[in-house]
């Protein structure tokens, strides 16, 4: 878990916006199959990163750039944590509309509070 936390800090720093979240069965039951990590991104940022996809329809799951980034990051997370990680970048509107189950923020950096 600590390795996943640290790895997600790097992803959050690289991609910005809302960040990584644990979702799915790993939050619901002890016999989870894989660790679902979703990076939720503002719609405008998602469109800028993946200009050939439509946010309203999840056709981005067939976009070569989206597939390459997600599979590369999934593999990197799996190798660094020893966990079977399924990583996906999703636009905020889609994530909020279609996924109403709990999310656990991961990879947040804590900084000293300034007066």
Residue 35: domain span: 2-106
pLDDT of residue 98: 80
In a domain, 63, yes or no: yes
- Tell me, yes or no, whether 20 lies in a domain: yes
| Tokens describing residue 25 | 């069965």
pTM: 0.89
Indicate which CATH number applies to the domain containing 80: 3.30.460
Flag whether 16 is in a domain: yes
Please write the tens of the pLDDT for every residue from 15-57.
987 999 999 999 999 999 999 999 999 999 999 999 988 887 7
**What tokens were used for 57?**
């329809």
Q: Into how many domains does the chain fold?
A: 1
Cα–Cα distance list, 110 to 35, 55, 95, 106 (Å): 23, 31, 25, 12
Say if 111 falls within a structural domain: no
């Amino acid at each position: 878990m600590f390795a996943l936390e640290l790895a997600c800090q790097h992803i959050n720093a690289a991609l910005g916006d809302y960040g990584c979240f644990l979702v799915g069965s790993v939050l619901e039951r002890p016999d989870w199959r894989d660790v679902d990590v979703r990076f939720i991104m503002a719609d405008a940022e998602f469109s800028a990163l993946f200009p050939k996809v439509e946010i309203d329809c999840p056709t981005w799951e067939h976009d070569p750039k989206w597939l390459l980034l997600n599979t590369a990051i999934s593999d990197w997370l799996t190798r660094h944590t020893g966990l079977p990680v399924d990583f996906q970048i999703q636009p905020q509107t889609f994530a909020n509309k279609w996924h109403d189950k709990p999310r656990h923020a991961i990879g947040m950096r804590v900084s000293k509070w300034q007066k």
